[in-house]
Amino acid sequence: MGRLTYVEKLVCSRCDATYEPEENPILCKRRDFGRLDIIYDYNAISNRVARANLKSRDVRDIWRYAELLPVSQKFSVRLGEGGTPLLQSKRLGEKLGVRNLFLKDETRNPSASFKDRAMSVGLAKAVELGKQDVVIASSGNAAASLASYSAAAGIRCHAFVPHDASKAKIAQLLLYGADVRRCKQVKEGEDPTVQMMISTVDKFGYYPCPSFGPFNPYQVEGPKTIVYELYEQQNWEQIDLIFIPTGSGCLLTGIWKGVQDLKKLGFIASYPRLVAVQPEGNSALVRAVNEGLDFNQIVSEPYPASIASGLLDPYPWDGDAGMLGIRSTGGSGISVSDEEIMTAVKDLAACEGIFSEPSGAAGLAGFKKMNANGLINKNDNVIVLVSGSGLKEIDKMIGAYPEPALIEP
């Protein structure tokens, strides 16, 4: 393959400090919570990647786009991440009066959420660096994902999750063999899982791999592959809108990075509008977008609360890039109630046959709300990301309908 990666340099999003790829930086030396944004050599990439030759590639997982990833695929641990179906909604689209509504079914990833795209890249870097212990702070999905890749690589995974993390996510973690700790929130606006993760990085030298850019820049690049797949699956048609369930803003940032890559390579002419969807009980990023605030004016949500447990990060770690993505594409932010989220869960299941967890269905709830407000053109080409499986939150979902009748046969 010639060169191992096409990374030119890494630049801190807070202080502009620049790093060579050979330095393999993870955190900015200044410890300023900047994300080390990865800059690629697009000239060299365009000598190897063209729309036409992508089509002839047989690889179906995220490594199909190896030149646009920051770690060599020779370090990859592969469980079938990415390559998920893009399903055209028939019944919901018709019901809502939108012709081109597409659902990107990320529930089909190996650990059943889109986080596999991020964690497989982050873990590949850990393999390259010869790390024996990785650590994560997560509401559950990213942790379950990292634990699965760690298990396959024979690396120890330490996970800090909220005290009320879903049973299914904890079961995944335990079965994948992770060392799991549930953490109580003790201070308003502070995420105890993040505090614990940082302390193990400092004390034991563990490799941090949460799905937050400022703590690991490599994993942010994984979700970019959603964008490449979307355009390939739609034969490079113009996409008008992408609805993105948003917590820490890492997925949103990945999508923004992905569309920028394609524009820089000349594969697309214009950006789709990116729409961040957050639950009403944790919507600092959406509020900042709608109130015209700067990222550094965002304060953490003191006590986040929602049925969408994956979207409860009190602080949007990647909100800077996410807000830039929304503003640069003419996108927007929208918040949705738990009731709207649960209705979207039921819609996906009963109208489309897709079983989504509440966090995974928030994008659809946001789309429905914008459509009801008359903000969607009926000819728009709309993508809704369905980011995690309903099997992850069975304890919350089982109460959505009355228990089936028990009969004497």
Ligand X SMILES: Cc1ncc(COP(=O)(O)O)c(C=O)c1O
Q: Which residues bind ligand X (CB under 6 A)?
A: 113, 139, 141-142, 211, 245-252, 310-311, 313, 357, 359-360, 387-388
Q: Closer to ligand X at the Cβ: 19 or 392?
A: 392
CB of 26 to Zn ion, least distance (A): 12
# binding residues, Zn ion (CB under 5 A): 8
Strand partners, 183: 162
14 binds, among Zn ion, ligand X, none (CB under 5 to 8 A by kind): Zn ion
95 binds, among ligand X, Zn ion, none (CB under 5 to 8 A by kind): none
Q: Closer to ligand X at the Cβ: 26 or 311?
A: 311
Q: Closer to ligand X at the Cβ: 49 or 103?
A: 103
28 binds, among ligand X, Zn ion, none (CB under 5 to 8 A by kind): Zn ion
CB of 122 to Zn ion, least distance (A): 19
Strand partners, 157: 134
CB of 383 to ligand X, least distance (A): 15
Q: What angle do CA 214, 123, 114 make, to 5 degrees?
A: 75
- Torsions phi, psi for 378 (to 5 deg): -65, -15
CB of 222 to ligand X, least distance (A): 11
246 binds, among Zn ion, ligand X, none (CB under 5 to 8 A by kind): ligand X
Cβ atoms < 10 Å from Cβ of 177: 14
311 binds, among Zn ion, ligand X, none (CB under 5 to 8 A by kind): ligand X
CB of 402 to ligand X, least distance (A): 26
245 binds, among ligand X, Zn ion, none (CB under 5 to 8 A by kind): ligand X
Q: Closer to Zn ion at the Cβ: 28 or 183?
A: 28
> 3-state class of 184 per DSSP?
coil
Spatial contact of 324 and 254, defined as CB atoms under 8 Å apart: no
Q: Closer to ligand X at the Cβ: 139 or 148?
A: 139
Which sign, positive or negative, has the C-alpha torsion 255, 257, 259, 265?
negative
Strand partners, 167: none
Q: Closer to ligand X at the Cβ: 49 or 247?
A: 247
227 binds, among ligand X, Zn ion, none (CB under 5 to 8 A by kind): none
Closest CA to 104 of 269, 250, 218, 231: 231
CA dihedral (252, 254, 260, 262) in degrees, to 10, reads: -120
Strand partners, 383: 102, 242
Q: Position of tokens 């089982």? A: 398
Segment 11 to 40, residues that bind Zn ion, using CB under 5 A: 12, 14-15, 17, 28, 30, 32, 34
Which sign, positive or negative, has the C-alpha torsion 384, 385, 388, 393?
negative
In the chain, count H helices and then E strands: 14, 13
CB of 213 to ligand X, least distance (A): 9
CA dihedral (220, 224, 225, 228) in degrees, to 10, reads: -170
CB of 113 to ligand X, least distance (A): 5
Distance, CA of 325 to CA of 253 (rounded, Å): 7
Does 9 contact Zn ion by CB under 5 A? no
Q: What tokens does 225 get?
A: 């592959």
Binding site for Zn ion (CB under 5 A): 12, 14-15, 17, 28, 30, 32, 34
